[in-house]
Amino acid sequence: MVDITKTRDQLKERAAKDLGIIEPGEALSTEDDDTFDGLVDPLIAQLSADQIVYIDDSEAIDVAFFLPLARLLANIAGPDFGSPINEQAKMADEAILRRMTSTRPTYEVHKGEYF
């Protein structure tokens, strides 16, 4: 069965793998899990405030947003694990999310309303 959503725990695990903290099949330590968990809600709020993407439920993250969101989480968690924030990677992932949520042109002819 194809996943259409991912959970908050899956997001934290993916971000930890991106940072090289855990290997596939390993679990996050309680301290590391708490560190990532404390950053998920602020990240989601910041993305919403910047009008990049709105995620209403961190337990049902659209699979299309999952990888860029995990990379953003890994990027902001980086300083806690000895890795600096990469602004270029942050901007690239935000641009991906913006592109995925942008309005597509309909190419319909606009009908004028006359008074």
Local structure of residue 111 (DSSP, 8 states): P
Predicted confidence (pLDDT) per residue in 31-90, tens digit: 999 999 999 999 999 999 999 999 999 999 999 999 999 999 999 999 999 999 999 999
Nearest to 15 by CA among 87, 85, 77: 77
* Residue located via tokens 């690239």: 92
Angle at which helices 30-49 and 8-19 cross, to 10°: 100
Are the C-beta atoms of residues 61 and 7 closer than 8 Å to each other? yes
Predicted confidence (pLDDT) per residue in 3-27, tens digit: 899 999 999 999 999 999 998 889 9
